[in-house]
C-alpha cells in the first residue's frame, strides 16, 4: 500500500514560503468573466512573487478550469522549487466544494511522479478533501510490473486552515489521521480489484481477508465448500460449482460498544465471472476480474471501522465464488435451495451475483442487525441507467435516501432508485419460489433489487448499492481516479457508519 506521508504545517507566511519541498500546490478558480483568480491558501505564494503570480499563470494559459495543471518555476522565491497551479473550476454559489478540492488534489497528485516532498495549500480550503484526493490521486498498482515508470509522491505537507486555537489544531490533526485512514481503506479495495484472477480466487481472497482481519483485531470466520454444503448455502455453492477453485463465505466482525448499533455489510465477491453456461461475449470479459469489488469494499470498510474505533458494531459477510462453465457448472433451468430454505429457478447463470448475495443476506439477518447495507457490481442495467460514475441506491425508502445523500456528500455519487412492486410478479416461477431473472430486459437494475428484497428480514432498514459502473474505470484517469479499481463505495460506507454512530 503506497500512501504519502502527511504532515500538518501551520498556516503562516514563514511556514509556507520557507518550507523545503520540490513542489508547492495552489488552486486557481475559474471566473464567470475574465481570467482566473487565486484560491484560498495561495496568497503567501503570490506575495513571494510580488503579486505577479496570477499574471505569470495567465500568460501560460491558466483559466482555472477543473483539473487544469499549470507549472511555474519558483525562481528561488520559495522554499519549494516549483509551483503547481491546479484548477478547481467555478465556485458554486461563491463556495468551492469539498469534491472540487478532492478532484483538484487528485489531479495534482497524479503529476507528482518522482517528487519526494510537496506542500499543498488546497487543504486551507478543506483538509479532509485535500488529503483524500492527494492520497488517492497518488495511487498506482505496480505489483505485477517488472519495471516501474516513476514513483508516487512520498511526503506531503498539509497547510492547516487559518486558526491559532490549539483545539482547532488538534481537530485538524484528527481530520488528517481519519482522512488518511479512509484513503488507505479505499486503496485496500483498489488493490484487491486490481489483483488478477490468477492470483485472487475464493480461497486466496479468504486468506487475505483473514490476514487483514487478524491484523486489525477482527473476529474472522471462514466457511469452506464442505461447511457451506453442510449448512445449506445453495446459492454460493451453485454459482461456484463450475470452478476447480471452490467457494468461500467469510464473516468479519468489529465489536462496537455494548449499546452500539449493529450494521451488517454484505458484498458480492465473484472473483471472476465468465457468465457460466450463459457465457458472456469475449469482448471486455477481462474486466470481470472486478466482479468482486463489492466484497473488496466491505472488507476494507470493516477494517476501517476497527482502525478508527467506530462506536458501531460492524459485521461484514463476503460470499466468494468463481463463475465458470464446465461439466459440473450449474445450468439454466436448475433450481437452487438457498440458505434459509427459499428456492430459486435459475433462468440465466450470468445473473449469479444475486444468488450468492441472497445466501449472505439471509445469514446476515440471522445476527439481527439494526441496518443492512449490500453492495455489488450487479447489473449492466445500472450503467445504462446512470452511467459509469453514479451508483444506483435501492432498498427501504428512508435508509435508501439517507445512504444516497451521504454518497453524494462524499463525492462518490449515488442516486436513489425505486423498487416497483409490479416487477415482483415478473420474477414468478412455475418451479420454484422465485426466478433469478425476468423474461424481459426492462428495469434490470430494479429487478435485481426486487429479487434481493425477498431475502431481507421484514422491517429491517436496508440499502442495496449497485456499483457495476463506478467500481472500475476503463477510461483515462480523472481527478483522484486512475485506471482500474476505484474503491467505490468505501468512502460512502465510512460516511454511513459515522452517521449511524452519531445519529443512530
Q: What is the DSSP letter of 395?
A: E
Q: Check if the beta carbon of residue 77 is closer than 8 Å to that of residue 104.
A: no
Q: Which of 19, 245, 251, 354 is catalytic?
A: 354
Q: Where are the beta strands (DSSP E) in 31-105?
A: 37-38, 69-73, 80-90
CA distance 367 to 263: 10
Q: Check if the beta carbon of residue 350 is closer than 8 Å to that of residue 276.
A: yes
354 is catalytic: yes
Q: Which of 65, 255, 262, 280 is catalytic?
A: 280
Q: Check if the beta carbon of residue 105 is closer than 8 Å to that of residue 44.
A: no
- Picking from 432, 239, 229, the residue whose alpha carbon sits closest to that of residue 353 is 239
The rounded Cα 448 to chain-centroid distance in angstroms is 21
> Dihedral of the CA atoms 324, 328, 331, 337 (nearest 10)?
-100
What are the grid coordinates assigned to 2, written together?
503506497
- Picking from 457, 454, 496, 453, the residue whose alpha carbon sits closest to that of residue 314 is 496
The CA-to-CA distance between both ends of the chain, in Å, stands at 33
Structural element, H or E, at residue 319: strand 313-323
Q: Check if the beta carbon of residue 437 is closer than 8 Å to that of residue 447.
A: yes
- β-pair type (155-159, 5-9): parallel
> Dihedral of the CA atoms 19, 20, 25, 26 (nearest 10)?
30
CA distance 81 to 104: 20
SS3 42: coil
Q: Is the peptide bond before 176 cis (omega within 30 degrees of 0)?
A: no
User: What are the angstrom distances between the C-alpha of 147 and each of 77, 144, 150, 436?
Assistant: 36, 9, 9, 45
Exposed e or buried b per residue across 224-241, where buried means at least 16 C-beta atoms within 10 angstroms of its C-beta: ebeebeeeebbbbbbbbb
CA distance 284 to 274: 11
User: What are the angstrom distances between the C-alpha of 9 and each of 129, 173, 329, 373?
Assistant: 16, 10, 59, 38
389 is catalytic: no
Q: Which residues are catalytic?
A: 280, 354
Amino acid at each position: 500500500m503506497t500512501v504519502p506521508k502527511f504532515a500538518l504545517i501551520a498556516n503562516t507566511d514563514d511556514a509556507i514560503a520557507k518550507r523545503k519541498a520540490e513542489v508547492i500546490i495552489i488552486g486557481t478558480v475559474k471566473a464567470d468573466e475574465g481570467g482566473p483568480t487565486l484560491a484560498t491558501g495561495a496568497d503567501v505564494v503570490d506575495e513571494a512573487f510580488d503579486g505577479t503570480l496570477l499574471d505569470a499563470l495567465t500568460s501560460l494559459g491558466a483559466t482555472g478550469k477543473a483539473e487544469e495543471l499549470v507549472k511555474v518555476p519558483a525562481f528561488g522565491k520559495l522554499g519549494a522549487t516549483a509551483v503547481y497551479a491546479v484548477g478547481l473550476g467555478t465556485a458554486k454559489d461563491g463556495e468551492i466544494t469539498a469534491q472540487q478540492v478532492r478532484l483538484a488534489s487528485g489531479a495534482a497528485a497524479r503529476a507528482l511522479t518522482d517528487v519526494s516532498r510537496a506542500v499543498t495549500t488546497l487543504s486551507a480550503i478543506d483538509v479532509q478533501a485535500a488529503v483524500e484526493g492527494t492520497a488517492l490521486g497518488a495511487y498506482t498498482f505496480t505489483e505485477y510490473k517488472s519495471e516501474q515508470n516513476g514513483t508516487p509522491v512520498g511526503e506531503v505537507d498539509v497547510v492547516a486552515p487559518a486558526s491559532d486555537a490549539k483545539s482547532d489544531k488538534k481537530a485538524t490533526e484528527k481530520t488528517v489521521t481519519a482522512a488518511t485512514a479512509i484513503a488507505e481503506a479505499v486503496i485496500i479495495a483498489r488493490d484487491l480489484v486490481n489483483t488478477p484472477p490468477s492470483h485472487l480466487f475464493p480461497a486466496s481472497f479468504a486468506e487475505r481477508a483473514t490476514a487483514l482481519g487478524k491484523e486489525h483485531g477482527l473476529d474472522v470466520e471462514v466457511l469452506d465448500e464442505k461447511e457451506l454444503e453442510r449448512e445449506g448455502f445453495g446459492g454460493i455453492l451453485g454459482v461456484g460449482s463450475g470452478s476447480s477453485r471452490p467457494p468461500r463465505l467469510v464473516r468479519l466482525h468489529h465489536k462496537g460498544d455494548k449499546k452500539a448499533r449493529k450494521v451488517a455489510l454484505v458484498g458480492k465477491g465473484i472473483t471472476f465471472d465468465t457468465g457460466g453456461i450463459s457465457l458472456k461475449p469475449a469482448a471486455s470479459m477481462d474486466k470481470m476480474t472486478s466482479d468482486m469489488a463489492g466484497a473488496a469494499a466491505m472488507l476494507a470498510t470493516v477494517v476501517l471501522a476497527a482502525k478508527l474505533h467506530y462506536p458501531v458494531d460492524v459485521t461484514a459477510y463476503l460470499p466468494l465464488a468463481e463463475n465458470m462453465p464446465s461439466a459440473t457448472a450449474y445450468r439454466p433451468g436448475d433450481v437452487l435451495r438457498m440458505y434459509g430454505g427459499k428456492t430459486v429457478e435459475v433462468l440465466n447463470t450470468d445473473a449469479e451475483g444475486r444468488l450468492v448475495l441472497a445466501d449472505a443476506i439471509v445469514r446476515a439477518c440471522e445476527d439481527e442487525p439494526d441496518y443492512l447495507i449490500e453492495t455489488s457490481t450487479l447489473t449492466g442495467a445500472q450503467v445504462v441507467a446512470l452511467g459509469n460514475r453514479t451508483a444506483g441506491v435501492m432498498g427501504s425508502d428512508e435508509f435508501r435516501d439517507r445512504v444516497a445523500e451521504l454518497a453524494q456528500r462524499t463525492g462518490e455519487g449515488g442516486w436513489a432508485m425505486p423498487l416497483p412492486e409490479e416487477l415482483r410478479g415478473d420474477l414468478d416461477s412455475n418451479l420454484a419460489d422465485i426466478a433469478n431473472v425476468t423474461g424481459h430486459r426492462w428495469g434490470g437494475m430494479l429487478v435485481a433489487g426486487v429479487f434481493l428484497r425477498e431475502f431481507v428480514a421484514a422491517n429491517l432498514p436496508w440499502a442495496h448499492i449497485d456499483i457495476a459502473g463506478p467500481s472500475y474505470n476503463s477510461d483515462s484517469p480523472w481527478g483522484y481516479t486512475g485506471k482500474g479499481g476505484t474503491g467505490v463505495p468505501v468512502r460512502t460506507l465510512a460516511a454511513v457508519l459515522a452517521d449511524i454512530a452519531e445519529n443512530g
